[in-house]
Amino acid sequence: MTTPNSNTPGGIIYDAMKDAGLLRGGSLPTSLDYADHGRRLVDMIKLWMTQGIKMWLQLDQSITLVAGVSSYTLGPGGTIITAKPIQVIQGYYLESSGNKRPIWPLSWDEYLRLSNTTQQGPISQYFVDKQQDNLIVKFWQVPDVQAATGTAHILIRRQVATFTELDETMNFPEEWRIALRWGLADEICTGQPTEIMARCASRAATYRMMLEDWDVEDAPTRFEPDSRTGTAGKFAA
């Protein structure tokens, strides 16, 4: 008896090809099918990573501060060696005593308007310079000797690990499998009968929307004044 396919690239490609009408009867994907559709699956996943929250990819990343050093690089060959994070969501400063206080993000405009980016003192804000292969996090003020006794923390969204084998477990929870399957079916069904393409497009959109709406924090969200400007900012309760 054949067991159901697990959450693997090979299983998703097989089911997507069946959904797209590209496999008949008991036929199996060829090695070329796996290579071609595997690339499309990776492309789709990389794009999806720029959308939505993806709770399981969030990580509290600590940064060891050095007195007089404002910039810290996250990425290959950086201060913190890791895959390039997709996004920095928020941050806080952890004092040596164990107390925390929030630090606030700066936009390009706000960072460029700072009168003195080399001034040392306690850090209160951070600026993220997004590069092709890494993220550069710059703190203001530049940490002084006292500030360097604590650590900066940023909540980052990590990349999904790219699969290299057809039988490895995907870096997605099981509940995302059906969305990956129909998303890929929609990508590879070009040239098929209109009914099949319409079904793939509809189910791909439906399942993805359902999961994006579900993949959020369980805590409620409330609005508070932004202490920097007085404008409304959105924070998790």
29-33, 40-44, 157-161, 187-191: which range is least confident on average? Answer: 157-161
pTM value? 0.82
Per-residue confidence (pLDDT) for residue 229, from 0 to 100: 56
User: What does the pLDDT look like over 192-211, one tens digit per residue?
Assistant: 999 999 999 999 999 999 98
- Render pLDDT for 154-189 as a digit per residue (tens, 0 to 9): 999 999 989 999 999 999 999 999 999 999 999 999
pLDDT at 234: 47
Q: Is the pLDDT of residue 224 over 90?
A: no
Q: Write down the pLDDT at residue 193.
A: 96
Residue 235 pLDDT: 46
pLDDT digits (tens, 9 = 90+) for 58-86: 999 999 999 999 999 999 999 999 999 99
Answer for the pair 162, 42: CB distance below 8 angstroms, yes or no: yes
- Rounded to 10 degrees, the C-alpha dihedral 212/213/215/216 comes to 130
Predicted confidence at residue 225, as pLDDT, reads 66
CA distance 89 to 127: 11
pLDDT at 208: 93
102/142 Cα distance (integer angstroms): 16
pLDDT mean across residues, the chain: 90
pLDDT for position 233: 47
**pLDDT of the residue at 232:** 45
Of the chain, the percentage scoring pLDDT greater than 90 comes to 79
Q: How confident is the model at residue 212 (pLDDT cuts 50, 70, 90)?
A: confident
pLDDT of residue 47: 93
Give mean pLDDT, residues 95-121. Answer: 96
Burial class of residue 108, CB neighbours in 10 A (0-12, 13-18, 19+): exposed
